[in-house]
Structure formats: structure tokens, C-alpha cells
């Protein structure tokens, strides 16, 4: 089985802490992670090293749902997290490892995402497009600073 890697970089007008929280808060993940045309649901969340979350994406047009389980490998609030995901579908074998690094910069936070081990049956360009859509939704969530 051939696997692939995608790398993304964005600078967002927010703090590293706020951006990190968007990766470990169930409601936040359900809002920004599903790419365009999908809804998302987090079924469980245990945001700690060796903890996990289970989530599903549903295609809004067809109603087809696919789920996955993610295990946190590394968590440094406001700095870095790494996790592996396994799909429920046996046709999507293996583990996909995602590493997220955050660094404070003059205008916000630099976000670097590396996703490794993407099964060959998932087109890398489609994965890249999905991440770009998700990161645009992430910006809409974390950049506004709405007073309490």
C-alpha cells in the first residue's frame, strides 16, 4: 500500500492558545474540521495524551457517513499536538498521523500541519483541498475576538 503526505501552513490572527483549543474542543472540531459539503459530529472526546476522540463526517448531498477514531500522541498546549487517526472503513487501512505546530508571530499564530500515511485510495489533491476548506472554516472560528 502506498501512502502520501500533505503539508500546510497558515498564519491566523489569533493566539496559539485559542488555536490549540480549536483542536481539542469537541464542539469546535465539529464546526471547523468537516470540509465543505460535510457535517461533522464528535461522538466522544478525551483530550489527553493517549486519550481519543471519535468523529464522523456525513456527506450532506448523499447522506453517506464515514467515521474515524483519533488517538492523541503528543499535547503541548499552545505549541504542538500530534495524533493518529484510523478509519472505521476497512477499505481505508492504516493510520494517518497528523502533527500540528503553533508558533506566535507578530500578527498572530503560524500554524503548520503535516499529515502522513494517507492511504493511496485517498487522492492527495482531494485531501489538500479538504484541509484548505477546513482551515478557512477554522479561521472564521478563531479569528473573531467577540467580547463575552
Say what the pLDDT of residue 64 is.
95
Mean pLDDT per segment of 10 residues, for the chain of length 148 residues? 84 98 98 96 98 97 96 98 95 91 98 94 92 97 92
Domain borders along the chain are: 3-142
What is the pTM (predicted TM-score) of this model? 0.93
Cβ within 8 Å of residue 136, ≥6 positions away:
none
- Give the separation between CA 37 and CA 139, rounded to whole angstroms: 18
Say what the pLDDT of residue 121 is.
86
Residue 119: all three cell numbers together: 492511504
pLDDT digits (tens, 9 = 90+) for 28-59: 999 999 999 999 999 999 999 999 999 999 99
Cβ within 8 Å of residue 53, ≥6 positions away:
26, 29, 42, 43, 44, 45, 46, 47, 69, 70
Q: Which CATH superfamily includes the segment(s) 3-142? A: START domain (3.30.530.20)
- Give the separation between CA 44 and CA 20, rounded to whole angstroms: 18
Do residues 43 and 29 lie in contact, with contact meaning Cβ atoms separated by under 8 Å?
no
Say what the pLDDT of residue 109 is.
98
Say what the pLDDT of residue 3 is.
66
Say what the pLDDT of residue 115 is.
96
Amino acid at each position: 500500500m502506498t501512502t502520501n503526505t500533505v503539508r500546510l501552513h497558515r498564519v491566523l490572527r489569533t493566539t496559539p492558545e485559542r488555536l490549540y483549543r480549536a483542536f481539542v474542543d469537541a464542539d469546535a472540531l465539529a464546526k471547523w474540521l468537516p470540509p465543505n459539503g460535510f457535517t461533522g459530529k464528535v461522538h466522544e472526546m478525551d483530550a489527553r495524551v493517549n486519550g481519543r476522540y471519535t468523529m464522523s463526517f456525513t456527506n450532506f448531498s448523499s447522506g453517506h457517513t464515514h467515521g474515524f477514531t483519533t488517538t492523541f500522541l503528543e499535547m503541548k498546549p499552545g505549541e504542538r499536538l500530534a495524533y493518529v487517526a484510523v478509519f472505521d472503513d476497512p477499505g481505508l487501512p492504516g493510520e494517518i498521523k497528523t502533527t500540528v505546530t503553533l508558533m506566535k508571530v507578530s500578527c498572530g499564530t503560524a500554524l503548520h500541519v503535516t499529515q502522513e500515511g494517507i492511504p493511496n485510495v485517498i487522492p492527495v489533491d482531494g485531501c489538500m483541498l479538504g484541509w484548505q476548506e477546513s482551515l478557512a472554516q477554522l479561521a472564521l472560528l478563531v479569528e473573531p475576538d467577540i467580547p463575552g
